[in-house]
A and B are shown apart, each in its own frame.
Chain A
Amino acid sequence: MKNTISAELPKISRRKFLVVSAAAGGGLALGFNLPFGVGSAAAQSAAEAAEVNIWVVVKPDDTCMIRIARAEMGQGTLTGLAQLVAEELECDWNKVRTEQITAGQNLARKRAWGDMSTAGSRGIRTSHDYVRRGGAAARMMLMQAAANEWNVPVTDLQVANGVISHAGSGRSTTYGKVAAAAAKLTPPDPKGIKLKDVRNWKIAGKPLRRLDTADKLNGQKIYAIDLKMPGMLHATVKNCPVFGGKLASFDDSKVKGMPGVKGVMKINDTTVAVVADTWWRAKKAMDALPIVWDEGPHAKVNSASIAEHLKSGLTSNDAFADIDTGDAPKAIAAAAKKIEAVYSVPFTSHTPMEPMNCTVKLSPDKAEIWIPSQSLEASLAALSSASGQPLEKCEAYVMDLGGGFGRRIGNQDVVRQGVAIAKAFPGVPVKMVWTREEDQAHDFYRPIAQCRLSAGVDEKGNLAGLHLRVSGQSINAFANPAAIKDGKDRRQLQGLWPEPHDAQIGYTHANLRTEYAMRNTHLPVGPWRGVNTNQNGIFLECFMDEVAKLANRDPLEFRRSLMSERPKHLAVLNAAAEKAGWGKPLPKGVHRGIAQFMGYASYSAAVAEVSVSAKGEVKVHRCVFALDCGNVVNPDQTAAQIEGSVAYGMTTLLSEISVANGRVVETNFHNFRVMKIAEMPKVEVVLPLTHDFWGGVGEPTICVVVPAILNAIHAATGKPVRSLPLSKQGLTLV
């Protein structure tokens, strides 16, 4: 998810701020105790606790509060970051607690905690170094404080589990006892700290239990949607169902007298809000509110017209070539055997389980927001611009997200709406919650795409050339046009890039061309877990199976023949194949498919085992994954992310976002079918780590889930699946 941060962010990073001592006050002002990880850092750190450095606060009872600057949305980053700090801190893991910092605190301290955005599978891979140095620096300061107290050289001391000991004298002390003295010492230069060899880790790298599970089992966890504050009001909104349309009028006389209703208001050109004393009453009044929409210029657009628009990009002359090695079209034309195919992948929605929401309180001298945000600093910036309060008078508190998947990153639409409503109720906290229907109808969808692929093979079954043309909507064109250089939006070719380290194509060939033709629609689009590796993984990896079949070659062996210059891709492909038992007999009717792809600096491969009944019922029995993310901080949570990517990916076999009369057709789970437990295959994971880089975990594997399954369906039925969802092929998932 590159380049997705709100354009408002750079403004705040350049600004200088004095320490605002009140920055953390909002957590206390709630009037009830927030659980760990919810309140502000200063609210959590009691007066007697010592801030050894920005990452580590130690209490007299030896509790180590580890500060977290990234959002937790289920992906386990909170636990992983704590493991990394604790590893270098040498504290007792059983005494670790975490606390989330606020965006205002980060700004007040000149962004000491660094980037707070949680996107692009970067939560750990871009912060592991400085959080480990933070843990190590705190350990050094705590040990120095003990050495000073005992008047012995620090080199004579040892530490384990938060207990510092001096072998010569037999003395020992604990972190809690020396923390106050340690906090007064000059911190060591972080750059001079030597970090532990990853292979010697004791806390990081281990499958430790998550720190945030307990409250998720008994109803005690407070999500943003659960917040309660004295005097709070509740709001819901309705946005013009047709993108590009506007709110024409509404008749509030019909609902103003309904129980609990406090206000009905236009909050921007496209949105009406109802505010009431409870959310249910607001929702009921909204349902009863007569609204007239000016549907605008796109009211006749539908999925068929969008498909035609994209189709034009498959053969147009406005595309650019990204890889253009040799002469692929000429080589294909001259080949002994040729194949051409067109693939298409529809829009889809994020649909996190917790609907969009935020709570905003606007006071004369302060603007506050509580929000499940993947980019808390962007939320703060949007709060400031929408409320008119300067940044130093704004505060944003992150609430752990009930799912994110990319929906809650760059576009702060929810913040602007929440602020617009709260302006009508100064000093009153107003919680705005969208219905599921609004969430479905007003997402920033995964972009729609088509792809024309052609290839030739020679008499020996070797690839003669491969030509790939993607035509589809650009995320950057919608969200971040400045990222498009010279009119070439390379981001839409993610996973097909020639350069190494991030999302490199796994194959090399003398005649290879990749192209992209931009075809935008009126739907808003955005990053969706795995972003463009999803579509591109399907296009390339499913077509590879079609070419292998044309060449009468095994799909695994055919791929290997093109991967000699991609050793890391190849090693992961081989690991998945070996773990899955590629080539070994399967039960009757069960077929395998394989795929490999790269994204988020990690290498992924999958093997799926699938059967297809005569009635077209597809059963995915087992999926085997190999992931090389370089280093792994918690292998059990890494496995959990891979398991989750299976379900999130497989839902695209079942559902799509389609368009009729300019609006989204799929309004709730009855017509946007989400995969359930009965359809979930067994998942097995192997991590062939190479330890010489840091790759992402949350997103990399999703791009191989669907192509591995589609290739297994192809193996089972003899027919390639070139468009989704499966219902377009007369297939269903069981």
Chain B
Amino acid sequence: MKSKSAILVGVGGQGAILTAKVLVNGLMKAGYDVKMSEVHGMSQRGGSVSTQVHWGEKVYSPVIGSGAADLMVAFEKMEAVRYANFLKPDGIAVINDYSIPSATVAAGLETYPEGCLEAMEENFKCYTLDAAKIAMDLGSAKCMNIVLFGAMTKALELDDIDWEEIIRETVPPKFLELNLAAYRAGRAAAE
């Protein structure tokens, strides 16, 4: 097979790195060679963050550049726009219909851009969902990342991987039921 790449983008603290780890655990279990890249440091302080996952029979580079991602998962919609150039023209985007104003927007120095979702949907095959609302309906905003993860697994079409089993192995027992429900709801939202 040709190797595949995903890019998970959001704002520091949203759980993009953790979600990427669940994805990687599944890919490892399925026997793929996997590489993952993340950046720490400055970016954690409310800045824009991205994590990349690259998998296949044998993969070399842990990072990708422009026009190389098969899949994007955007935890925040302006971040989807920021990283859109990483997507292949026929790439797929899973987008959280959720906005976090940046400090410059909050301070009134900039305005939050209009039409992020529409621009993405006009250019790429998109699965858009309100993961925050789905998570709140399930009882906790904290499982928003697993809702997005569920939608991502649908978009990925890696159906030979038992993702529920991977979640069981990754998530502490206390939060297992919530996260399984979040996963299923996310998957259903991407149907």
**Is chain B found bound to chain A in the same assembly?**
no
